[in-house]
Amino acid sequence: MEVELIRNESKEAILEFSEADLTIPELLASRLLQQDDIEFAGIAQNHPETGRPRLVVKTEKHKAVDALCRAIEDIDGDLNELKTELSRKK
């Protein structure tokens, strides 16, 4: 999956994903909305089958890209915990 950073301003970032699948953008938006500093996190897509989804992030104080990085780190941590738990149950 390729991702292009369309906008990288202090309090706003827009990522465009190469695939129409919304799984990753929705996961990121959901995790972003759990952060206190997030003003808006949502997905825009021109057409559900052919459009390239864009994740729009707006923050109140901190850099939007930093918020994205925190969300990715949180998701990564959750996945590592799940992997560890499943490994114990083998």
Domains contained in the chain, CATH given: 3-88 (3.30.1360.10)
Residue-wise pLDDT tens digits, 19-72 = 888 999 999 999 999 999 999 999 998 776 768 999 999 999 999 999 999 999
Question: pTM above 0.75?
Answer: yes
Determine contact, residues 5/35, Cβ cutoff 8 Å.
Answer: no
Q: Compute CA distances 45 → 57, 67, 79, 89, whole Å.
A: 14, 21, 27, 40
